[in-house]
Amino acid sequence: MAVPHRTAFLVIPTSIALTVLFCLFSGVTDSSKDNQSKSRSDRLLDLLQETTKTPSPKTSFNNGRQESKLNQSNAAALPTLVPDIPPDTASIALPIRVALLSQSPINTFRTTGGAICLRPDGQALSNKELKNLIHSRSRGWIRCSGGAIRINGRGYRHDVDLIGRQDGWIAVNELDLEQYVASVVGAEMPHHWSLEALKAQAVAARSYALVHLARPATIDYHLGDTTRWQAYGGESTRSMKTRKATQETRGIILSYKGGIVESLYAANRDISAEAHGHLGASMSQEGAQSLASQGLRFNEILGSYYQGASLARLRRDGD
């Protein structure tokens, strides 16, 4: 539990964050995939555009009404530190690879909307051939793109890789970070909740994802789609409101002393305390909705849970 002037965060240091290599895996043979990831990498210099001001006590309210576990014992005596919102910049596209572990095993797989699935040698596979392949124990790498994919009845867009390993086939969805965040927001929060709560969730989800871009789970993907990481539902959990929350916070993440905060969160105060209490700051999603219903903006909500953190925005080198 944090005390005044001491912040407990899980943080990726600047030295790592500013030299993250984002690998775009392309189709290769399975044998070569084990030894290389045949990828193109974009090195992002000056990845974070920090606000020049440290969080300032713009707003003070009775913290006894909120569910934050951070400084709970003396929160009522502390002002809320509100991080400034960084200025807007040109958008930056970052690909993220999400393992669809919630859909394992793959029972049904179907391409729609003109999607084509290709072997590394360029051979196209029909839906029947795909069905036979994923129910086999063979090893391989298939890239599906150009339309929509339905896996066990759930829809996904962008690129989907089918990867056959010794323990079976998994699907990995590769898409833009902002598209991913819009889906996570809808999977982690009811889409009808207050926009400011959804925006706070978008920033937390983006920060968490960026940490795993820098620290991928495996050579095949950055993170999974389950609550072991953060929930991701593909097309089914995106809505106009989650897209709006994502767009209005585009590129904004939580930062602490130039590093990226692995922004933990959970459904409510009790779960947050049980799951993350030993790790430091964690946001209660129900608490965020409660604060939003009281009129707080997303940066004020984030400031009440991740005290001492600032907001930063992803930018291209030179912007």
pLDDT digit string, tens, across residues 204-243? 999 999 999 999 999 999 999 999 999 999 999 999 999 9
Are both 255 and 202 inside the same structural domain? yes
Residue 137 confidence (pLDDT)? 78
Residue 22 has pLDDT above 60, yes or no: no
Structural domain span for residue 304? 11-24+44-93+177-314
Are both 171 and 181 inside the same structural domain? no
pLDDT above 70 as % of the chain: 70
Structural domain includes residue 32:
no
Under 8 Å CB-to-CB from 52, ≥6 apart: which residues? none
Residue 166 confidence (pLDDT)? 80
CB 25 within 8 A of CB 37: yes
Sheet architecture: strand order including 95-99:
124-125, 116-118, 140-145, 159-165, 168-176, 95-99, 223-224
Amino acid at 4: P
Residue 260 has pLDDT above 80, yes or no: yes
List the single range of 8-22, 242-256, 294-308 with lowest mean pLDDT.
8-22
Structural domain includes residue 31:
no
Residue 54 has pLDDT above 80, yes or no: no
pLDDT digit string, tens, across residues 149-172? 999 999 999 999 999 988 889 999
Last residue of some domain: 128, 148, 175?
A: 175
pLDDT above 90 as % of the chain: 50
How many angstroms separate the CA atoms of 195 and 202, rounded? 10
Average pLDDT of the chain to the nearest whole number: 76
Annotate 219-249 with b (16+ C-beta within 10 A) or e (fewer): ebbbbbbeeebbbbbbbebbbebbbbbbeeb
CB 276 within 8 A of CB 261: no
Q: pTM, whole model, 2 decimals?
A: 0.78
pLDDT top residue among 18 and 132: 132
Are both 277 and 133 inside the same structural domain? no
pLDDT top residue among 176 and 32: 176
Q: Helices 240-247 and 195-214, interaxial angle, to 10°?
A: 70
How many angstroms separate the CA atoms of 309 and 257, rounded? 8
Residue 71 has pLDDT above 80, yes or no: no
Residue given tokens 């240091």 in the structure block: 13
How many angstroms separate the CA atoms of 248 and 185, rounded? 13
Structural domain includes residue 1:
no
How many angstroms separate the CA atoms of 277 and 255, rounded? 20
pLDDT top residue among 299 and 67: 299
Residue 76 has pLDDT above 60, yes or no: no
Are both 145 and 191 inside the same structural domain? no
DSSP at 241:
H
Closest CA relative to residue 261, chosen from 13, 5, 6: 13
Residue 280 confidence (pLDDT)? 57
Q: Number of structural domains, the chain?
A: 2
Structural domain includes residue 37:
no
pLDDT digit string, tens, across residues 79-137? 357 788 888 777 788 999 999 999 999 999 999 889 999 999 999 999 999 989 888 87
Are both 182 and 58 inside the same structural domain? yes
Last residue of some domain: 142, 175, 208?
A: 175
Burial of residue 85 (number of CB atoms within 10 Å: 0-12, 13-18, 19+): middle
Bridge partners, 310 (sequence order): 255
Residue 257 confidence (pLDDT)? 82
Are both 199 and 278 inside the same structural domain? yes
Residue 275 has pLDDT above 60, yes or no: no
Are both 131 and 261 inside the same structural domain? no
